[in-house]
Amino acid sequence: MPISTKHEQLAAALRKRISDGVYQDELPSDAALMSEFGYSRATVRQAFTALENEGLIVARSGMRRRVSRPQRWNWPMTTWEKAHNSSEDAWAASIREQGGEPSASVSVRIDVAEPDVAAALQIEPGANVLVRARVRSVNGEPHQLADSYFPHWLMEQHPIFSQPGDLSAPGGLLASVGLPQARYLDEINARMPTPDETQLLGVARGVPLIVHTRTGYHADGRPLRHMITRMAADRVHVQYELDA
Amino acid sequence: MPISTKHEQLAAALRKRISDGVYQDELPSDAALMSEFGYSRATVRQAFTALENEGLIVARSGMRRRVSRPQRWNWPMTTWEKAHNSSEDAWAASIREQGGEPSASVSVRIDVAEPDVAAALQIEPGANVLVRARVRSVNGEPHQLADSYFPHWLMEQHPIFSQPGDLSAPGGLLASVGLPQARYLDEINARMPTPDETQLLGVARGVPLIVHTRTGYHADGRPLRHMITRMAADRVHVQYELDA
DNA sequence: CAGTGGTCTAGACCACGCT
DNA sequence: GCGTGGTCTAGACCACTGG
């Protein structure tokens, strides 16, 4: 059963030309395809929109559409923060190793726990949590939104959590107060970004968001930290190394 | 800076009504919104298309658009096939545990290795590989495309890999020939599906694909198996359990 | 400036699903 | 049959980008 609609036929033809290398970089204009295929502009644009939503091409007003070729960075999830001299966290070290220049901006606040965060931290929904919101950038471009949530009882027991500043410590903040994380539960999901996220991360049309959540537990089973990291899926390879 | 275009204003209004619960299930028709907002049909449809591409709503011809509420299944990635009596693999057992009815259809073929598969298996691109392609279903609906690639030297050393059939064995095929996998390297990516994948998996518009690849290694370092699993992102929670 | 993609309109016909 | 979403056209104006 062949494709019947014009815009799907056109989209299929363009996909083939892209994968065959006919269009290495620039794509034809609306007008060029209108005359080549004899379709109206709306139909041509519907085909282009489909390819954009598949992440194959990117469009910018005033310029020809281009084939999308984003650079990707590996993100190893089973390399922990080294406890020694390094002042960088595992993510920054990994990016630097790959030839990128990592940076981060941090803001700390106290907020009430949303139901999903409360469930992960095993506290009551609406209870206070300490939130450390980070925007991680590579080569000056925003790359990740990494938010950590700490339960309220940590603030009461360890004054360092109530101090202003970026809440970082060599070897890891939790380890520095004698609460090392012994176990992690990770979950990975993907979805399309909201308009807010699109703007904050500069996500292109048709690129999903990878949402990585990590909950860290003390050896006695208490959840110590819940971390939600969001990033454009076309810029990373999330990696796990496991022993059977 | 407020939103200036009509279709974005409308999309924002509809997003708000959905999250506020104004539209629990059915959404208004094109005509209803055209008269409520005074916009042309194309503009109304552009707003709806944006919400579809965000995975918020689903549309079916002849019926009103509906708010999307897919059922999700957990997928634990650190639970290995139990070596004993169970005839099911870890995935099927997990689905059954969650109240679903797993099934699978298997086809086996010999093919030449694509560059990415060859690199993972440390063989030459174009060399033969044994491919076990599985379609995993839950409650009769296609759920995953799980393809395993085995290097050619396995077929030469172990005739069982050249037999017809579904290539399954209690405790795992590789373990049954004395080649247990000692280490895994996993990689998780997300992208929009191709038209083929959309059809095979029944993916809704605006839903990304999660692509999980796992390479299994012998204790001596040889790659034994490369597995690529593709699934709709709105139907799973990929989970990892890790010790620090 | 000319060319590009982005937005918007008014109108038409079709295929689908329900009653 | 009738309302729904899906497709398609012709034409218009705007905003952005480059030379």
Same domain assignment for residues B45 and B89: no
Interface contact A239-B77, CB threshold 8 A:
no
**pLDDT for residue A44 is more than 70:** yes
The answer to whether residue A59 sits within a structural domain is yes
**Residue A30 CA, distance from chain mean position:** 32
Q: Assess whether B38 and B96 both reside in one domain.
A: no
**Which residue carries 């699978």 as its tokens?**
B104
Please answer yes or no on whether A191 and B210 come within 8 Å at the CB atom. no
pLDDT of residue B79: 83
Q: Which pLDDT does position A166 carry in this prediction?
A: 66
Please indicate, yes or no, whether residues A114 and A172 belong to a single structural domain of this protein: yes
In-domain check, residue B153: yes
Position A83 pLDDT exceeds 50: no
pTM: 0.92
Q: Which helix (H) or strand (E) holds A7?
A: helix A6-19
- Name the closest nucleotide to B40, judged by C1' and CA: C9
**B21 and B91 inside one domain:** no
Protein CA B41 to sugar C1' C12 (Å):
13
Among candidate residues B48, B67, B86, the one where a domain is terminated = B67
Q: What are phi and psi of A230, to 5 degrees?
A: -120, 135
A63 and A99 Cβ atoms separated by less than 8 Å: no
**Minimum-distance CB partner of A208 among B195, B208, B236:** B208
Structure tokens that stand for A164 in this block: 């202003």
Q: Provide the token pair at B132.
A: 């076990």
- Please tell me whether residues A147 and A51 are part of one structural domain: no
Residue type, A20: D
pLDDT in tens, chain B (244 residues): 667 899 999 999 999 999 999 999 999 999 999 999 999 999 999 999 999 999 999 999 999 999 999 999 999 999 876 544 567 888 999 999 999 999 999 999 999 999 999 999 999 999 999 999 999 999 988 999 999 999 999 988 887 777 766 667 766 778 888 899 999 999 999 999 999 999 999 999 999 999 999 999 999 999 999 999 999 999 999 999 998 8
The model's pLDDT over A221-231, given as tens digits with 9 standing for 90+, comes to 999 999 999 99
- On whether both B63 and B77 belong to a single domain, the answer is no
Chain A hits for B234, Cβ within 8 Å: 191
The pLDDT value recorded for residue A1 is: 62
- Same domain? B49 vs B117: no
Residue B174, pLDDT score: 84
- Give the pLDDT band of residue A64 (cuts 50, 70, 90): very high
Structure tokens at B158: 């172990």
In this structure, is the dihedral angle defined by the CA atoms of residues A158, A159, A165 and A171, taken in order, positive or negative?
Answer: negative
**What confidence score (pLDDT) does residue A80 get?**
74
Q: How many residues are present in chain B?
A: 244
The answer to the question of residue A1 being in a domain is no
Residue B182 CB neighbour total at 10 angstroms: 14
From B240, B46, B39, select the one nearest A77 (Cα to Cα). Answer: B240
The last residue of one of the domains, among B22, B41, B67, is: B67
Smallest CA-to-CA distance from B153 within B142, B162, B144 is with: B162
Q: Own/partner pairs for A74-77, CB < 8 Å, 24+ apart?
A: A74/A98, A74/A236, A74/A237, A74/A239, A75/A236, A75/A237, A75/A238, A75/A239, A76/A239, A76/A240, A76/A241, A77/A186, A77/A212, A77/A214, A77/A238, A77/A239, A77/A240, A77/B240
User: Between the CA of B209 and the C1' of D11, what is the distance in angstroms?
Assistant: 39
Nucleotides on chain D within 7 angstroms of protein Cβ: 3-12, 15-18
Q: Report CA torsion sign: A228, A233, A235, A239.
A: positive
Taking a C-beta distance cutoff of 8 angstroms, is the pair B112, B129 a contact?
yes
Query: Is A244 part of any domain?
Result: no
Please indicate, yes or no, if residue A197 is contained in any of the structural domains: yes
- Structure-model confidence comparison of residues A35 and B1, the more confident one: A35
Verify that A59 and A100 share a domain, yes or no.
Answer: no
β-bridge mates for residue B185, sequence order: A241, B215
Residues of B in contact with A238 (CB under 8 A): 187-189
- Tokens 């520095």 belong to which residue? A176
Residues B197, B218, single domain; the answer is yes
| A47 lies in the same domain as A132 | no
Domain count, chain A: 2
| Least confident stretch, A53-62, A65-74, A213-222, B158-167 | B158-167
Q: What is the CATH number of the domain that holds B134?
A: 3.40.1410.10
For residue range A149-182, what is the model confidence (pLDDT) as tens digits?
999 999 888 877 777 666 677 667 788 888 999 9
Contact B182 A53 (CB under 8 A): no
Q: How far apart are CA B50 and CA B234, in angstroms?
A: 17
Q: Which parts of the protein come within 7 Å of strand C, by CB position?
A: A 27-32, 41-42, 45, 48, 59-65; B 5-8, 38-43, 46, 60-63
Using alpha carbons, select from B42, B11, B77 the residue that is nearest to residue A188. B77
Of A186, A193, A233, the CB nearest to B240: A186
Domain-embedded: residue A140? yes
The CA distance from A81 to A181, in Å, is 11
Chain A residues near any Cβ of chain B (below 8 Å): 12, 42, 49, 53-55, 77-78, 80, 180-195, 206-210, 216, 233-234, 236-244
Closest CA to B199 of B214, B210, B213, B209: B209
B107 versus A2: which is more confidently predicted? Answer: B107
> Residues B43, B146: one domain?
no
Of B77, B208, B236, the CB nearest to A233: B208
Segment A31-35 mean pLDDT: 95
Could you tell me if A225 and A150 lie in one domain?
A: yes
How many angstroms separate the CA of residue B240 from the nearest CA in chain A? 5
Give me the domain span that covers residue B51.
6-67
